[in-house]
Chain A
Amino acid sequence: MKKLCSPTEHISRRALLKGTLGTAAGAMVANWGGVFASRVVAAEAKKRGKKCILLWMNGGASQLDTFDMKPGRPTGGPFRPIASNVTGIQMCEYLPKMAAIADKLAIIRSMKTQSPDHPDGIYHMHTCYKMSERTPHPEIGAMIARYLGDPNSDLPSFVRMGPTGNAGSGYLGPQYEPFNIGRDGKMPNFTGTQGTPEAETRRKELLKFVEDEFVKEHHAQPFDSHRMAKQRAWRLVKAREVFDITKDWVTAKERYGDTDFGRGCLMARKLIEAGVPFVEVGHDNYDSHADNFVCHKANFSQLDPAWSSLLNDLAERGLLEDTLVVWMGEVGRTPGINNRAGRDHYIRSWSTVLAGGGIKGGQLYGESDIDGKDVKSNPVTEGDLFATIYKTLGIDPRVKHYVGVRPVWATPEDSGPIEELVG
Chain B
Amino acid sequence: MTFDKAALAWHLPWDADWVTAVTFVGKSRTLAAGNSLGEILVWDLPEKPTTEMPKPTRMLVGHSNVVSRLRSSADGRWLISSSYDRTIRVWDMQAPAGKESVDLVLNARTIADAEARKNNGAKVPPPIPAKVEKRDAAKVLDQHKEWVGSFSFNKDQSLMLSGDDSGELILWNFPQMKEASRWKTRNWVYAVALSPDGSQAVVTERRPLVFDSARQASVKLWDTKAGTVIKNLEADFKGMYLSAAEYSADGKLLALGRGGECDSTGGKIFLHNPADGKRIRELTPGHLSGLTDLAFHPDGRHIASSGRDTVIRLFDLTDGKMVKELGKGRGGQFKDWICALSFTADGQYLAGGDMAGGVQVYTLA
Residues of A with Cβ closer than 8 Å to B?
74, 78, 80, 163, 259-260, 284-285, 287-288, 290-291, 294-295, 297-299, 302, 338-341
| B 289-310 contacts with A by CB, 8 A | 289, 308
- Chain B residues positioned under 8 Å from A297 (CB to CB): 165
Alpha-carbon separation in the docked complex, A74 to B17 (Å): 8
Given contacts A299-B209, A340-B334, contact A291 B260 (CB under 8 A): yes
Verify A339–B214 contact, CB threshold 8 A.
no
- Chain A residues positioned under 8 Å from B66 (CB to CB): 78
**B131 beta carbon closer than 8 Å to chain A:** no
Alpha-carbon separation in the docked complex, A26 to B8 (Å): 70
Alpha-carbon separation in the docked complex, A285 to B215 (Å): 11
| B 192-209 contacts with A by CB, 8 A | 206-209
Verify B65–A298 contact, CB threshold 8 A.
no
- Chain B residues positioned under 8 Å from A287 (CB to CB): 210
Verify B209–A298 contact, CB threshold 8 A.
yes
Q: What is the CB-to-nearest-CB distance from A96 to chain B, in angstroms, rounded to a whole number? A: 12
Alpha-carbon separation in the docked complex, A278 to B84 (Å): 40
Alpha-carbon separation in the docked complex, A224 to B65 (Å): 66
Verify A339–B212 contact, CB threshold 8 A.
no
**B337 beta carbon closer than 8 Å to chain A:** yes
Among the listed A259, A260, A284, A338, which residue makes an inter-chain contact with B210, where contact means beta carbons less than 8 Å apart? A284
0 or 1 for each of B51-81: is its CB under 8 Å from A? (1 = yes): 0000000000000011000000000000000
Given contacts A78-B65, A290-B261, A298-B207, contact A284 B336 (CB under 8 A): no
Among the listed A74, A284, A288, A338, which residue makes an inter-chain contact with B212, where contact means beta carbons less than 8 Å apart? A284
Q: What 4 A-B pairs come out closest when comparing CB atoms?
A: A285-B210, A290-B261, A284-B211, A294-B208
0 or 1 for each of B75-114: is its CB under 8 Å from A? (1 = yes): 0000000001000000000000000000000000000000
Verify A291–B214 contact, CB threshold 8 A.
no
Given contacts A78-B36, A78-B65, A339-B337, contact A295 B210 (CB under 8 A): yes
Given contacts A260-B213, A339-B334, contact A80 B65 (CB under 8 A): yes
Alpha-carbon separation in the docked complex, A291 to B206 (Å): 13
Among the listed A74, A163, A339, which residue makes an inter-chain contact with B335, where contact means beta carbons less than 8 Å apart? A339
**B40 beta carbon closer than 8 Å to chain A:** no
Most A CB within 10 A of own CB, among B17, B65, B214? B214
Verify A302–B214 contact, CB threshold 8 A.
yes
Chain B binding surface, main DSSP class: loop
Verify A295–B336 contact, CB threshold 8 A.
no
- Chain A residues positioned under 8 Å from B65 (CB to CB): 78, 80
Residue of A nearest to B215 (CB): A298
- Chain A residues positioned under 8 Å from B334 (CB to CB): 290, 338-340
**B314 beta carbon closer than 8 Å to chain A:** no
Verify A298–B208 contact, CB threshold 8 A.
yes
- Chain B residues positioned under 8 Å from A78 (CB to CB): 36, 65-66, 84, 147
Alpha-carbon separation in the docked complex, A295 to B207 (Å): 8
Residue of A nearest to B84 (CB): A78
- Chain B residues positioned under 8 Å from A338 (CB to CB): 334
Verify B208–A339 contact, CB threshold 8 A.
no
Residue of A nearest to B337 (CB): A339
Q: What is the CB-to-nearest-CB distance from B357 to chain A, in angstroms, rounded to a whole number? A: 11
**B355 beta carbon closer than 8 Å to chain A:** yes
Verify B165–A259 contact, CB threshold 8 A.
no
- Chain A residues positioned under 8 Å from B165 (CB to CB): 297
Alpha-carbon separation in the docked complex, A298 to B356 (Å): 26
- Chain B residues positioned under 8 Å from A341 (CB to CB): 337
- Chain A residues positioned under 8 Å from B308 (CB to CB): 340
Alpha-carbon separation in the docked complex, A284 to B84 (Å): 25
Alpha-carbon separation in the docked complex, A287 to B209 (Å): 11
Q: List 26 A-B contacts (CB under 8 A).
A: A78-B36, A78-B84, A80-B65, A163-B211, A259-B214, A260-B213, A284-B209, A284-B211, A287-B210, A291-B208, A294-B188, A294-B208, A295-B208, A297-B165, A298-B207, A298-B208, A299-B209, A302-B209, A302-B214, A338-B334, A339-B334, A339-B335, A339-B337, A339-B356, A340-B308, A340-B334
Alpha-carbon separation in the docked complex, A401 to B207 (Å): 47
- Chain A residues positioned under 8 Å from B209 (CB to CB): 284-285, 295, 298-299, 302
Known interface pairs A74-B17, A78-B147, A287-B210; 10 further A-B residue pairs with C-beta atoms within 8 A, sorted by A's residue number: A259-B212, A284-B210, A284-B211, A291-B208, A291-B261, A294-B188, A294-B208, A295-B209, A298-B207, A302-B209
Alpha-carbon separation in the docked complex, A284 to B210 (Å): 7
- Chain A residues positioned under 8 Å from B336 (CB to CB): 339
Residue of A nearest to B335 (CB): A339
Alpha-carbon separation in the docked complex, A80 to B38 (Å): 13
- Chain A residues positioned under 8 Å from B337 (CB to CB): 339, 341
Residue of A nearest to B216 (CB): A298
- Chain A residues positioned under 8 Å from B208 (CB to CB): 291, 294-295, 298
Among the listed A285, A294, A302, which residue makes an inter-chain contact with B211, where contact means beta carbons less than 8 Å apart? A285
Residue of A nearest to B308 (CB): A340
- Chain B residues positioned under 8 Å from A302 (CB to CB): 209, 212, 214
Among the listed B84, B207, B212, B335, which residue makes an inter-chain contact with A285, where contact means beta carbons less than 8 Å apart? B212
Alpha-carbon separation in the docked complex, A237 to B75 (Å): 74
- Chain B residues positioned under 8 Å from A298 (CB to CB): 207-209
Q: What is the CB-to-nearest-CB distance from B285 to chain A, in angstroms, rounded to a whole number? A: 20
- Chain A residues positioned under 8 Å from B147 (CB to CB): 78
- Chain A residues positioned under 8 Å from B355 (CB to CB): 339
Residue of B nearest to A283 (CB): B212
Alpha-carbon separation in the docked complex, A80 to B86 (Å): 12
- Chain A residues positioned under 8 Å from B213 (CB to CB): 260
- Chain A residues positioned under 8 Å from B289 (CB to CB): 340
Verify A340–B261 contact, CB threshold 8 A.
yes
Q: What is the CB-to-nearest-CB distance from A258 to chain B, in angstroms, rounded to a whole number? A: 8
Q: What is the CB-to-nearest-CB distance from B17 to chain A, in angstroms, rounded to a whole number? A: 8
Q: What is the CB-to-nearest-CB distance from B65 to chain A, in angstroms, rounded to a whole number? A: 5
Q: What is the CB-to-nearest-CB distance from B265 to chain A, in angstroms, rounded to a whole number? A: 16
Alpha-carbon separation in the docked complex, A290 to B212 (Å): 17
- Chain A residues positioned under 8 Å from B36 (CB to CB): 78
Verify A260–B261 contact, CB threshold 8 A.
no
- Chain B residues positioned under 8 Å from A294 (CB to CB): 188, 206, 208
Residue of B nearest to A80 (CB): B65
Residue of A nearest to B330 (CB): A339
Residue of B nearest to A288 (CB): B210
Alpha-carbon separation in the docked complex, A338 to B337 (Å): 11
Residue of A nearest to B334 (CB): A340
- Chain B residues positioned under 8 Å from A290 (CB to CB): 261, 334
Alpha-carbon separation in the docked complex, A284 to B215 (Å): 11
0 or 1 for each of B126-159: is its CB under 8 Å from A? (1 = yes): 0000000000000000000001000000000000
- Chain B residues positioned under 8 Å from A284 (CB to CB): 209-212
Given contacts A78-B36, A78-B65, A340-B308, contact A260 B214 (CB under 8 A): yes
Alpha-carbon separation in the docked complex, A74 to B36 (Å): 10
Residue of B nearest to A261 (CB): B212
| B 254-275 contacts with A by CB, 8 A | 260-261
| B 169-226 contacts with A by CB, 8 A | 188, 206-214
Alpha-carbon separation in the docked complex, A35 to B145 (Å): 57
Residue of B nearest to A184 (CB): B213
| B 328-347 contacts with A by CB, 8 A | 334-337
- Chain A residues positioned under 8 Å from B214 (CB to CB): 259-260, 302
